[in-house]
Amino acid sequence: MMENDLQEGDTATALSEQDLPNFEGMNSFQEGLLVQEILSNYLELKREVITLKREVSENKLMIAQLEKKRDSYGKEVANRVSSMLSLITDYGENMCSTDIREIMGLSKDEFYRTLQCAKNDNLIELFPNHKDRRSYIIKVTTLLNKFGGI
């Protein structure tokens, strides 16, 4: 009777008076069985809730770790950022993005990841290139220059 109402995916269960047990005409043994069944169902649900709470807390940690890993960049990208910053500094503090990409020999995807990593870490600033609207002028940030750079 109540088990049908508590199906997976239901967000709310509404009980009507017809769903509630009727103790009239039951002997004490039948009442005891019914109470025992209700208590058993209650304890089973309580164990399920405790298990779900545990799983949620474990998943929160895993999700947080995955998000941190997603936002961090690998050694390869970090090395490319370092090389790019050295290149820009050697050529005079700013360069065109297409020139950097050609000199470093990177694909568009590799270069984009490198730029995003450097930009997210506030190591570079990107400015529109008025001569070629498809590219950017990349400038090493003043903060990096102030503290000795690379």
Higher-pLDDT residue of 144 and 45 is 45
Total domains, the chain: 2
Parallel, antiparallel, or unpaired: how do β-strands 124-128 and 136-140 relate? antiparallel
Residue-level pLDDT at 2: 47
Tens digits of per-residue pLDDT, 91-107? 887 899 999 999 999 99
Report the pLDDT value the prediction gives residue 41, as an integer from 0 to 100: 94
Structure tokens at 26: 């039951």
The answer to whether the beta carbons of residues 96 and 129 sit under 8 Å apart is yes
Q: What is the 3-state secondary structure (H, E, C) of 80-107?
A: HHHHHHHHHHHCCCEEEHHHHHHHHCCC
**pLDDT tens-digit series, residues 108-127:** 999 999 999 888 888 899 99
Tell me, yes or no, whether 100 lies in a domain: yes
Residue 14 lies in a domain: no
Same-domain status, 47 and 81: no
Contact of 97 with 88, CB cutoff 8 Å: no
Structural domain span for residue 64 = 25-72
The reply to whether 64 and 97 lie within a common domain is: no
Residues 89 and 128 grouped into a single domain: yes
Which of 48, 72, 96 is the C-terminal boundary of a domain?
Answer: 72
pLDDT tens digits, one per residue of 23-78: 666 777 888 888 899 999 999 999 999 999 988 887 887 777 777 766 666 888 88
The reply to whether 81 and 66 lie within a common domain is no
Residue 1 lies in a domain: no
**Under a CB-based contact definition with an 8 Å cutoff, are residues 115 and 97 in contact?**
yes
- 121 token code pair: 């870490």
Same domain, 94 and 54: no
Kindly tell me if the per-residue pLDDT of 135 is higher than 80.
yes
